[in-house]
Amino acid sequence: MPTRIETPFTNEHFAAFCQKMVGQPYWYGTTGNRATDSLLKRKTAQYPSHYPSSRIARYKKDIANGAIVCDCIGGCKAYAWTGGGEELLRALYSDESFSSKYGANGCPDKSANGMFSYAKSKGMPYGGMSTLPDLPGIALWKDGHVGYTIGNGKCVEWRSFSYGCVTTVISQRSFQSWYYLPFIDYGENQTVVRDLKRGMTGKDVTEMQKQLISAGYALPKYGADGDFGKETEDALKNFQADNGLKSDGVFGEATREALDALTKSEEEKEKPPVQETEDQKKIIIRSNGGNVNLRLGNGTEYEKVASAKNGETFSYIATAENGWNAVKGEKAVLWVSGEYSILEE
C-alpha cells in the first residue's frame, strides 16, 4: 500500500514535489511552464515591468537549459494542474513533454492573496504564524507572496527573479499567516474552521482563549480550558466592542482575523525592528541621462518634490492602474512614472 508521501495530493507528496523543484528559475506569472521564446514573448507583453531588457540574458539562459518555471503561487498551480506534478518532475532534466490542464483538480487560478481568500471561503484551517502546525505542505502567506512548509522549520518558496526556487528558514522570513490549500489532503489533520460560540468545546476554543488572554482579555476563573462558557463569551464581546466589531460573542471570520492581527501586533512589539533585506522589492530609476521627477501623486499634474538619477533605487510600495509606481520617500510616499522606472524583485 502506498505511503502518504507516495500518494499524489497528500500534503507530504506536495511538499516533496516542492523540494524537488528547488533550483528552478522564477518567472513572474508562470505556472509550471517549459521556458521557451514564445512564453517569454507572451509574458513580456503581459507583465512588462517584470520582464525588462536587463533580464533578457538570464531568461534566454533558462530557455537554453529547458527550465520549468513558476512564480510563488504558480508552484501549487503547477502541482495541481499537472495531476500531482509527477510528469512535470520527470521532464525537469529531459525533453519529455507533460500535460497541464488549467484550473484542474480543484485548484483555481488565483493570485497569492486571492488563493488565501479562496481557502478561507472554503473553510480551510488558517491562522497567525504563532499557531503554525508542524506539518509539511502548508501554505505560508504574506502580502503578495506565498511559500510552502517542508518540515523542520523550513519552507520552499519561488522567491524572486534573483533567487528562483529556494529553501528558506521560516523564522528568518516575514510570513504573516498560514493556511491549508483546499485541493491538498492533510489527512487526520484536516479540520474545518468553525465559528465558535458559547457551549462549544475543543482545541480551537483553547487556542482562541489563549489569544484573548495574550491580547489582554483575562479569563481569571477558568483560563484557557477549552470550554466556551460565559466568562469566555464576556471577554470575547469586550474584545469585539473594543475593535469595532459586532458584539455578538461569536468567534467568526471577522473576529478571528482581528484577534490574529492584534496578537501578531503584540508579538511584533517584542521583536527588534526588521531591517530591509535585499530581496524586498525595489524600483530602479531608468533614464537616458537626465534626472527623473518624483511626485506626490500618480501623474504629472501632482507636485514635483524630488528627483532621482539613473540607477537610483527606492523601496517599492505599489503600482497604479496607469503604470506609475509608488515608492518610499524619506517623509512621504512618492510616485514615479512607469516609463522611467522598473520593478526589481
Domains of the chain and CATH, by start: 1-193 (3.90.1720), 203-264 (1.10.101.10), 282-344 (2.30.30.40)
CB 89 within 8 A of CB 20: yes
Put simply, whether the predicted model's pTM sits higher than 0.85 gets the answer no
* Residue 307, CA distances (Å) to 212, 339, 344 in order: 48, 15, 19
pLDDT tens, residue by residue, 39-66: 999 999 999 999 999 999 999 999 999 9
Q: What is the pLDDT of residue 116?
A: 95
- Report the alpha-carbon angle 302-307-310, nearest 5: 130
Q: Which of the 8 DSSP states describes residue 251?
A: B
Alpha-carbon span 234 to 217, nearest angstrom: 9
Residues 6+ apart with CB under 8 A from 193: 120, 123, 124, 125, 126, 204, 256
Alpha-carbon span 251 to 195, nearest angstrom: 5
Grid coordinates representing 199 are: 457551549
Grid coordinates representing 132 are: 503554525
pLDDT tens, residue by residue, 61-72: 999 999 999 999
Q: What is the pLDDT of residue 335?
A: 86
Exposure string for 234-250, b = 16+ CB within 10 A, e = fewer: ebbbbbbeeeebeeebb
Q: What is the pLDDT of residue 29?
A: 97
Q: What is the pLDDT of residue 138?
A: 97
pLDDT at 277 over 50: no
Q: Which of the 8 DSSP states describes residue 134?
A: S
Instruction: Average the pLDDT over 80-102 and give the result.
Output: 95
Alpha-carbon span 187 to 4, nearest angstrom: 9
